[in-house]
Structure 1
Amino acid sequence: MAGLERDEAEGAPLLSDPVYQVLGNERRRHVLQVLAAEDDPIDIGTLAERVAGLENDRPVAEVTYDQRKSVYTGLHQNHLPMMEQVGLVRSEGGWDRIELTDRGAEIQRRIAGRDRRSAARDRLSVALAALVVGLFLGVGVVPPSMLSLVDPLYGLLVGLSLLAVGYVLMK
């Protein structure tokens, strides 16, 4: 996490061992994601519903009582106190108004930027692999006696077709 180590404004470590430990848990990363999307503080119940939706890959309206309760309990007993202790979230009124701290918001911005760059690299890798495979397939299926200028172009066409398919699948 090369770009995450220091807070440029203060020169202080942005990530310490406890922060790395916090970020090592997917539920806590979901908490950062949900809170970053909010303009105002939210209560633990709303946070639990949204995190449960992310964890179960479903809209909040489809989150079951058991899924919500499981997340709520984990947030209340473990995740939020830990996140508050390392300075990523703050709350007023016993988890009634939870929001990101400036430190938590900065870490979430950097994580989100890293995820976008990783996705772009993944798409590029698939695209280049598809192009190479297409070129080999296009040229390799033609008997040597029929090779001409058209055959490499056919390989390029196959490669570009695979590239388009790879791009669509990666979206």
Structure 2
Amino acid sequence: MGQVGVSRTEKRQLSRDDVYDILSNQRRRYALHAIKQENERAELSDLAEQVAAWENDKCIQDITSTERHRVYTSMQQTHLPTLERAGVITHDNGTVTLTDTADSLDVYLDVVPGDSIPWAEYYLGLAAVSLALVVAIWVGVFPPSIPSLVWPTVITLLFLVSAAYHVKETRRLQLGAADKPPELLE
């Protein structure tokens, strides 16, 4: 039942609506995460077990046959056909393989843990603090004995450290990067 014409090296352009539709379902996000963890290829039975375990917050060994069957059936009848039509996976004889098109989904998934602020707001705040520092320097709040290169260095280091941390967190929260899907890492 594999999709003809879409190989791992061919990349299909997904519309924004397609991407949002694909990522709108938790089970599909979990499935994509699990496939990425398995070097971009997984058996449907293993995939269903892992997704059922995450959905039920259990170890794979503790899921029931009913939980496993429920996920297996919906994956086979609904979610895999949706992903295959979008060109994100191929599905053949129980083996699910990601295509290059799946890589384009990562940029749309920005997971912000519950105890964090969105990065855009963080950088807006950091820019406001930097501007306040520049204004304070300009009006002479700080003693003139502090060398003039200290302030631009402080501002640059604040942005550099923030950006480095942001890159690290973004990579950690990508589908397939951690043991659990990003939304379960909170």
- TM over 0.5, yes or no? yes
1:69, CA displacement in angstroms?
A: 0.2
- Listed as ranges, the gaps of 5+ residues in structure 2 are 1-11, 119-184
The higher relative CO (CA closer than 8 Å, separation ≥ 6) is in: 2
CA RMSD in angstroms, aligned pairs only: 2.9
Report the Cα distance in structure 1 between the residues aligned to 2:40 and 2:31, rounded to whole angstroms: 14
Q: CA deviation at 1:14?
A: 3.7
Contact 1:23 1:29 in 2 (8 A): yes
TM-superposed CA distance for 1:111, in Å, is 5.1
Q: How many residues align?
A: 111
Give SS of 1:123's match: coil
The Cα of 1:91 is off from its aligned counterpart by: 1.9
TM norm structure 2: 0.52
Partner of 1:141: none
Does residue 110 (structure 1) correspond to residue 103 (structure 2)? The answer is no
Tell me, in whole angstroms, the C-alpha distance in 2 between the residues paired with 1:43 and 1:65. 17
Quick check: which one's helix share is greater?
1
Partner Cα separation in structure 2 for residue 63 and residue 56 of structure 1: 8
Post-superposition shift, 1:24?
A: 1.0
Aligned structure 1 segments of 4 or more residues deviating by more than 4 angstroms: none
Q: What TM-score comes out, normalization by structure 1 length?
A: 0.56
Shift of residue 63, structure 1, vs aligned partner: 1.1
2:89 is matched with which residue? Answer: 89
Give 1 or 2 for the bigger CA radius of gyration.
1
Say yes or no: does 1:122 pair with 2:122: no
Go from structure 1 to structure 2 and tell me whether the alpha carbon gap of 1:106 and 1:37 turns closer, same or farther (over 3 Å shift): farther
Identity %: 31
Whether the aligned pair in 2 keeps the contact of 1:35 and 1:100 (CA below 8 Å) is yes
